[in-house]
Chains A and B, each alone.
Chain A
C-alpha cells in the first residue's frame, strides 16, 4: 500500500462546478498537510497548507483534514478554466521535513 493515495483522474468538470479532490494516507503520524497545483510544463506551487485536523478557506479554495479517517480534501468553488492543472497533496510528520507527495489528480475545467 502506498503511503499516500490519490485518484489520478483525469477529472473533467464544466466551468462553475464545485470540484472535490481527495487523498488518503496510511501514516497516522502525519500532521502537516499541503496542496500543490502544477500547471503543464511547470513545477508545483503551494496552494493551501493546514496543520492537524480542521478546515481552512482561501477564496474559492477550501482544504479539509480528517485525521481520524486519514483523509484530506480540497474543494474548489466556481471552478474556472484557469484551474485546469494537476493537484498534488503532500504531507509530513515533522514541520518542514520529509514531505510525502501523492501522485496527483489531473483536473480539466471545460468552458
Chain B
C-alpha cells in the first residue's frame, strides 16, 4: 500500500511554454499532497502544501503564479510550471499523506524537467 505515481517521469520543453505534472495516490486517499524540488546532490526543498479542494500554501520565495497547484480530488494533484525558463529545470517530486489516518509522507518517483 501507499503507492504514489507521477506523470510524466521526464519532460523536455521549450522556454516560454507551460508544463503540467500529475501526482496520484494509487491505493489511498491523500488528505494532503506536497510538492518538492530537488537540485543535484541536494536535499528536498518544499515548494507548497495542498489539501483537496483548498488553495495551496506556498513556501516563502516560491512564486504561486509560476508554479500553479491544483488539488481537485483526494487522489490527484497537479503542478503546472508556467512560462518555463531554463532555471526551472529540476527534479520535481510530490508526496502524499493521509494513509489510514496516519501522517507519514509517501513520495512519488519524481519528474525530471528540462527546459531548453
Partners in one complex: no
